[in-house]
Amino acid sequence: MFDKKTYQQRRNKLCKQVKSGLLLFLSNGESPMNYAANTFHYRQDSTFLYFFGLNFPGLAAIIDIDENRQTVFGNDLDMDDIIWMGPQPALKNRCLKIGVADAQPLANLSETLHNAVRLGRKIHFLPPYRSENALWLERLLGIRAEAVKNFASAEFVKAVIAQRSLKDPDEIKEIEAALTVTAAMYREAMAMAQPGAYEREIAGRIEGIALAGGGQLAFPAIVTIHGETLHNHYHGNRMQKGDLLIIDSGCETEAGYASDITRTMPVGGKFADRQQAVYETVLDMQRTALAMIRPGVSYRSVHLKACEVLVERFKDLGLMKGSRSEAVAAGAHALFFPHGLGHMLGLDVHDMEDLGENQVGYDEKTKRSPQFGLAYLRLAKKLEPGHVLTVEPGIYFIPALIDQWQAEKKSAAFINYAEVDKYRKFGGIRIEDNVLVIPQGGRVLGPPIPKEIAAVQKAVAGK
């Protein structure tokens, strides 16, 4: 948790941007896993955390911009709660820590909102992503849960994104603290990538390190020898010499800030020639992208440059042919790199994606392309100092996609399908780092995590 001044400043800035009306914030509730009392690990809503810092369920808050009043609604624990969950400070005292003087019982929330509705006042709320909160909004505002998203406040969304997109030094410290734990996760994980071991042994170890670091995983870890499946959460394979293992994972700090790192390694410690060539390609794509990052540069142009590197290298390997720029314009590279180069990172691993991917990564001047591959680019707009983003190029050989494209003779002018066929069992490679945009360029955050070929091989050897 930050100093109360931080939360006060954040809320004041928000009021200045939205200008009038009531801003309604809902906390996340507990989420049942298989019955009501057996819940998933609790995760607060990130916007609630950002403006109010209170990391527990059963809360709502209203900022009345016109009346200059800020209220947190919630209930103090009763004896039953205390017996099962232990004593907690009174809500009033917790609110003082975040600079809110007015704490009221949760029962007062609907009356406050009904009064505002009666007076015809504007109530701004954010689009809910949990059905419980959509139902809560239905009860509070009388808008059907299925439709409530359509009535979310575009001004509120825009103001929150504008503020949360620019990370201050305290937030950077948090992300770097998450990365310090993540570096330890990778140190252990890479040394465990040995023939005979199961993916799940590594998955268990890295989650343990995240928990021991004071947080939890920021998202379910990807630990797989089938990296060609982009979000593969199956951990049951036994690794064999010659496999490529992708580990895409990150953790959160206690305050909720995330890291998001990917490394790919040869099981047993030595890349085969073909693996090394593709690995160097991905590394070159990332190096090129990192060198381009600076304020004013659009992330779409960085993504497209990385795609050009792929084509150039793949021409040398005989997998592609023709003009580099024409191949990229046609989207031919997306057979191997079907996802985007990266996304914003902060309190969420895909930061603020609940508020709308287009609202976060695009703007009036930057529209999303419908082209396969480019359509998945989550961040395309111009970069600004204070943005934190991921740079995560990848190359995959996805048999089903290769079959489909080949049958359709798609981009046949740029792809040597006979050669691609030899890579059907290759799997995938992705390399991901987290970068802060600074006035001079981009700064890779956190301690180094082995990435160059020699360093990766050494890390797998446990050295």
430 bridge partner residues = 394
At closest approach, how far in Å is the CB of 185 from Mn ion?
A: 13
24 bridge partner residues = 62
Q: For residues 231 and 241, which CB has a smaller minimum distance to Mn ion in the complex?
A: 231
Nearest one of 228, 223, 215, 144 to 179, comparing CA atoms: 215
176-215 residues in contact with ligand GLY (CB under 6 A) are none
Q: Does the protein bind ligand GLY through residue 260 (CB under 6 A)?
A: yes
Indicate the DSSP class of residue 54. Answer: -
At closest approach, how far in Å is the CB of 288 from ligand GLY?
A: 19
Indicate the DSSP class of residue 214. Answer: T
Neighbouring CB atoms inside 10 A of 462's CB total: 13
At closest approach, how far in Å is the CB of 228 from ligand GLY?
A: 15
Neighbouring CB atoms inside 10 A of 6's CB total: 18
Binding span for Mn ion by CB under 5 A among 109-117, 143-151, 329-337, 427-435 = 427-435
Number of residues that bind ligand GLY (CB under 6 A): 7
Q: Does the protein bind Mn ion through residue 390 (CB under 5 A)?
A: yes
Binding span for Mn ion by CB under 5 A among 231-239, 258-266, 285-293, 324-332 = 258-266
CA angle (50, 54, 58) in 5-degree steps = 115
Q: For residues 350 and 410, which CB has a smaller minimum distance to Mn ion in the complex?
A: 350
Report the partner that residue 186 touches, choosing among ligand GLY, Mn ion, none (CB closer than 5 to 8 A by kind): none
326-345 residues in contact with ligand GLY (CB under 6 A) are 343
Q: Does the protein bind ligand GLY through residue 357 (CB under 6 A)?
A: no
C-alpha atoms less than 13 angstroms from C-alpha of 25 in its C-beta half-sphere: 26
In whole angstroms, what is the distance from residue 353 CA to residue 359 CA? 9
Report the partner that residue 333 touches, choosing among ligand GLY, Mn ion, none (CB closer than 5 to 8 A by kind): none
Q: Name the token pair of 345.
A: 């990172």
Q: Judged by CB under 6 A, which of 256, 392, 396, 410 binds ligand GLY?
A: 392
Q: Is the dihedral of CA 442, 448, 450, 452 positive or negative?
A: positive
At closest approach, how far in Å is the CB of 349 from ligand GLY?
A: 6
Q: For residues 164 and 339, which CB has a smaller minimum distance to ligand GLY in the complex?
A: 339
In whole angstroms, what is the distance from residue 189 CA to residue 194 CA? 10
In whole angstroms, what is the distance from residue 338 CA to residue 274 CA? 20
Report the partner that residue 219 touches, choosing among Mn ion, ligand GLY, none (CB closer than 5 to 8 A by kind): ligand GLY
At closest approach, how far in Å is the CB of 392 from ligand GLY?
A: 6
Q: Does the protein bind Mn ion through residue 288 (CB under 5 A)?
A: no
Q: Does the protein bind ligand GLY through residue 351 (CB under 6 A)?
A: no
Q: For residues 300 and 343, which CB has a smaller minimum distance to ligand GLY in the complex?
A: 343
Q: Is the dihedral of CA 411, 412, 416, 422 positive or negative?
A: positive
For residue 189, what is the enclosing H or E element?
helix 169-191
Chain centre to alpha carbon of residue 59 = 24
Q: Name the token pair of 105.
A: 């019982």
221-250 residues in contact with Mn ion (CB under 5 A) are 248
Report the partner that residue 171 touches, choosing among ligand GLY, Mn ion, none (CB closer than 5 to 8 A by kind): none
Is residue 71 within 8 Å of 62, Cβ to Cβ? yes
Q: Judged by CB under 6 A, which of 7, 52, 186, 219 binds ligand GLY?
A: 219
Please name the residue that has the structure tokens 């040398």: 316
Q: For residues 22 and 429, which CB has a smaller minimum distance to Mn ion in the complex?
A: 429
Question: What single string gives the DSSP state of each residue in 6-46?
Answer: HHHHHHHHHHHHH-SSEEEEE-----EEEETTEEPPP---H
Q: For residues 141 and 221, which CB has a smaller minimum distance to ligand GLY in the complex?
A: 221
Neighbouring CB atoms inside 10 A of 404's CB total: 12
Q: Does the protein bind ligand GLY through residue 433 (CB under 6 A)?
A: no
Q: Does the protein bind Mn ion through residue 357 (CB under 5 A)?
A: no
Q: For residues 5 and 231, which CB has a smaller minimum distance to ligand GLY in the complex?
A: 231
Positions that interact with ligand GLY (CB under 6 A)? 219, 248, 260, 343, 349, 392, 432
